[in-house]
């Protein structure tokens, strides 16, 4: 997982929040968080 892919997920989450889709945004943020943690372990 690259930084760019994590960034894209995070930006999609921000877009979801702007539209009021907080559940979907939270799911995207959680996924981005997990990927960030995994990428720092390597």
The C-alpha atoms of residue 1 and residue 30 are separated, in whole angstroms, by: 15
pLDDT of residue 2: 86
Could you tell me the pTM of the whole model?
Answer: 0.80
Q: Is the pLDDT of residue 1 over 70?
A: no
The neighbour count for residue 9, using CB atoms within 10 Å, is: 19
The neighbour count for residue 42, using CB atoms within 10 Å, is: 5
User: What's the token pair of residue 8?
Assistant: 């894209």
What ranges do the domains of the chain cover?
A: 3-41
Task: Find the mean pLDDT for residues 2-30.
Answer: 95
pLDDT of residue 20: 97
Confidence of residue 41 (pLDDT cuts 50, 70, 90): confident
Task: Find the mean pLDDT for residues 2-16.
Answer: 94
The C-alpha atoms of residue 31 and residue 23 are separated, in whole angstroms, by: 12
């Amino acid at each position: 997982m690259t930084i760019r892919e994590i960034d894209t997920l995070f930006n999609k989450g921000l877009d979801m929040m702007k539209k009021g889709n907080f559940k979907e945004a939270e799911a995207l943020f959680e996924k981005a968080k997990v990927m960030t943690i995994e990428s720092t372990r390597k």
